[in-house]
Amino acid sequence: MSDLRREFTVFIVDDDASGRDSLALLLSLRGYRTSSFASAEDFLRAADSSWTGCVMADLRMPGIGGLELLEELQRRGMDLPVVIITGHGDVATARAAFKSKVVDFLEKPFDDEGPINAIESSFLREEERLETQRSEARRREALAALSERERGVASLLILGMHNRDISVKLGISPRTVEVHKARIMNKLGARNLADLIRITEAASG
């Protein structure tokens, strides 16, 4: 199990107490950490942007249903993967769910492996998302650690300027430009100019 995954929680949102409890029991026996909510409103009141894992939400609940919950999470900028569970599935609803980027659409009654497979798919997506966030944070830190001169050289490099042109622009020797360039590449983990451009754009975006 990855270090990221150890912190993941399956958030079960279902107004059916027996269904909610049986799913929580199944997942707990399989080693998953769970947290249960009787309504989407309860979940949203408690939701925190630091939460990681996935949401398993019933499609139809009094008030906010599963797809509306997904839309609200997206509006808040929370990228938790969502699995929809329902006893009232149809093709049109399933299509709408996948269009909203749910991980899976499980129709009740489902066997034990249905939720497990959906959670594993969700956790893989979550690991990729969080690793991308961490990589971007490391790149931003690396960019912030560049000296003023290195940032100046980097900004001209990504404009496509050659070492000699940069040396004239900054009033330093081509050799000094080359030294700064090597340090920039090393600090940012860039292998070439295209890599440098990609890293700086990703960090600034």
Q: Where in the chain is the domain with CATH 3.40.50.2300?
A: 5-135
Q: Give 85: exposed, middle or buried? Use CB within 10 Å, 0-12, 13-18, 19+.
A: buried
- Give the CATH fold of the 5-135 domain: Rossmann fold (3.40.50)
Q: Give 51: exposed, middle or buried? Use CB within 10 Å, 0-12, 13-18, 19+.
A: middle
Q: What is the pLDDT of residue 4?
A: 72
In degrees, rounded to 5, the angle at the alpha carbon of residue 72 between the alpha carbons of residues 71 and 74 is 65
- Give the CATH fold of the 145-204 domain: Arc Repressor Mutant, subunit A (1.10.10)
Q: Where in the chain is the domain with CATH 1.10.10.10?
A: 145-204
Q: What is the pLDDT of residue 98?
A: 82
pTM to 2 decimal places: 0.72
Q: What is the pLDDT of residue 204?
A: 61
DSSP bridge pairs for 86: 107
Q: What is the pLDDT of residue 1?
A: 55
Q: Which segments in the chain show pLDDT lower than 50?
A: none
